[in-house]
């Protein structure tokens, strides 16, 4: 139990706002680049598009430092366990952006024998960015959408890890 769980302070709207405001502009991003989308993700991190101005810090040296996981590219069934492992190593609270058609739903590999059709079968996803590949502007838009989501979160619920647990096996 940490301070967040023990104190009633976070129920106060100004405190809640302040905590979420701090969190949404401090997202250390983990690069899970797997295909051409990874190039767009990297381009978004460089000077022209520069997602650091939105508080997204490129790039965490390992999942244990990261807050945000961007899955950019084609996840194969063989890669899926590694992705799950990386996600599990990220400490709560954590967020996932599925970047590009392949990681959203399989994309052009929708009927492939080896591609996972949708990364949300493996890990929970907060924001889906469509495109093949999406332009950096699309990722910036996705980050803003994620920040809107964070701004309205109940921090204690998010901290509990219940929201980021593995999807129940069907």
Q: Least distance in Å: CB of 113 to other proteins?
A: 4
Give the total of residues touching other proteins (CB under 8 A): 9
Verify binding: residue 78, other proteins, rule CB under 8 A.
yes
CA 127 – CA 146 distance, rounded (Å): 6
Q: Do the Cβ atoms of 33 and 66 come closer than 8 Å?
A: no
Q: Do the Cβ atoms of 92 and 159 come closer than 8 Å?
A: yes
- Give the residue among 15, 40, 24, 41 at the shortest CA–CA distance from 95: 24
Q: Least distance in Å: CB of 75 to other proteins?
A: 13
Q: Please, which residue, 76 or 89, has the CB nearer to other proteins?
A: 76
Task: Name residue 56's beta-bridge partners.
Answer: 27
Q: Please, which residue, 44 or 116, has the CB nearer to other proteins?
A: 116
Q: Least distance in Å: CB of 72 to other proteins?
A: 22
Subset of 101-120 contacting other proteins (CB under 8 A): 106, 110-114, 117
Q: Please, which residue, 113 or 169, has the CB nearer to other proteins?
A: 113
Q: Please, which residue, 50 or 77, has the CB nearer to other proteins?
A: 77
CA distances from residue 61 to 28, 64, 71 in whole angstroms, order as listed: 10, 8, 15
Q: Do the Cβ atoms of 3 and 31 come closer than 8 Å?
A: no
Residues in touch with other proteins (CB under 8 A): 77-78, 106, 110-114, 117
């Amino acid at each position: 139990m940490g301070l967040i769980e023990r104190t009633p302070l976070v129920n106060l709207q100004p405190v809640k706002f302040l905590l979420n405001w701090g969190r949404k502009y401090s997202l250390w991003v983990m690069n899970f680049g797997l295909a051409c989308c990874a190039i767009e993700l990297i381009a978004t991190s460089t000077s022209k598009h520069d997602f650091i101005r939105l508080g997204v810090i490129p790039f965490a040296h390992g999942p244990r430092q990261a807050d945000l996981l961007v899955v950019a590219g084609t996840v194969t069934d063989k890669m899926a366990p590694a992705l799950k492992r990386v996600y599990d190593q990220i400490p709560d609270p954590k967020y996932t952006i599925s970047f590009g058609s392949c990681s959203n739903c399989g994309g052009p590999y929708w009927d492939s024998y080896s591609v996972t059709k949708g990364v949300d079968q493996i890990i929970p996803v907060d924001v889906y960015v469509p495109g093949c590949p999406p332009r950096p502007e699309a990722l910036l838009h996705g980050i803003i959408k994620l920040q809107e989501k964070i701004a309205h979160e109940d921090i204690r619920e998010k901290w509990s890890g219940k929201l980021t647990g593995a999807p129940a096996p069907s």
